[in-house]
Amino acid sequence: MAISKKSLDFLKKLSQNNNRDWFTEHKSLYTDAQQNIIDFADDVLQGMNEFDQMETPSGKKALKRIYRDVRFSKNKAPYKEHYGMMFSRATKARRGTYYIHIQPGHSFIGGGFWGPEKEDLLRIRKHIAQDDSYLKEVLDSKEFKKHFNEMQGEQLKTAPKGFDKEHPSIDLLRYKQFLISEAFTDEDVLHPDFAQKACQTLKAMVPFFDVMTDMLTTNLNGESLID
């Protein structure tokens, strides 16, 4: 299923008229666009199940609500100006979340670990400090570079507490988030084979997710922490 130009056009119009009156008056445009994106997400999910075990049951469940929670935000615009789709891997032994963001001029496919809990972040850092070769092998691979170039995410300016600032892996130890993404143009998004290209990008994330999963689900002796 291809993403319709009408679906992108709806977002463009919404960005210029982000208010409840306009949205109510043009609700049919939103309904049509929503179904188009759900159909696209269903196709992507079907492709993902060929290379990973997915917990997300359908494209409809993957698509995030367009309504914004403005209670604690200075931005009071009631609607998101993008389509967001999140796909979760199945079981605790397969950590990581895939994400597709469709927005005129700002579309991307990404994933990773946005806000690791304190214990998880420490576990990741201990694994990296002990042996960063598995993670670096993924980050330096041709396929990773082709899609993502490099790992992204917020970093500390200095060494985290308890780690030597002169450690050989300090460039990785300073990360607080572990994120990867690939950008796409509107032309890319509207191409008939975009669902297939999206799956190629998502599949390229698997080695990264698997290495990070190993760090999060084993101790430093390689013993499983999963019950």
pLDDT tens track for 142-199: 999 999 999 999 999 999 999 999 999 999 999 999 999 999 999 999 999 999 999 9
Cα torsion for 41, 77, 30, 197, to the nearest 10°? -30
- 176/91 Cα distance (integer angstroms): 24
In this structure, is residue 38 part of a structural domain?
yes
Residue 142: its pLDDT value, please?
Answer: 97
Helix (H) or strand (E) holding 181: strand 178-184
pLDDT averaged over the chain?
A: 95
- 185/192 Cα distance (integer angstroms): 14
For 26-50, what is the mean pLDDT?
97
- 2/22 Cα distance (integer angstroms): 27
Q: Going along the chain, which residue ranges are E strands?
A: 83-88, 97-102, 107-113, 178-184
For 196-214, what is the mean pLDDT?
96
Locus of tokens 């469709």: 102
| Model confidence, pTM | 0.93
Structure tokens of 44?
């992507």
Residue 96: its pLDDT value, please?
Answer: 87
In this structure, is residue 93 part of a structural domain?
yes
Residue 146: its pLDDT value, please?
Answer: 97
- 40/85 Cα distance (integer angstroms): 10
- Residues composing the chain: 227
CATH number at residue 100: 3.30.1460.10
Residue 147: its pLDDT value, please?
Answer: 97
In this structure, is residue 226 part of a structural domain?
no
In this structure, is residue 213 part of a structural domain?
yes
Residue 224: its pLDDT value, please?
Answer: 87
In this structure, is residue 224 part of a structural domain?
no
Q: How many other C-beta atoms can be found within 10 angstroms of the C-beta atom of residue 25?
A: 11
- Can you give the residue range of the structural domain that contains 87? 5-217
pLDDT digits (tens, 9 = 90+) for 63-85: 999 999 888 888 889 999 999 99
Helix (H) or strand (E) holding 171: helix 170-173
In this structure, is residue 225 part of a structural domain?
no
In this structure, is residue 223 part of a structural domain?
no
For 22-43, what is the mean pLDDT?
97
Better-scored residue on pLDDT, 69 or 9? 9
Tally the domains of the chain. Answer: 1
In this structure, is residue 73 part of a structural domain?
yes
- Whether 93 shows a pLDDT value over 80: the answer reads no
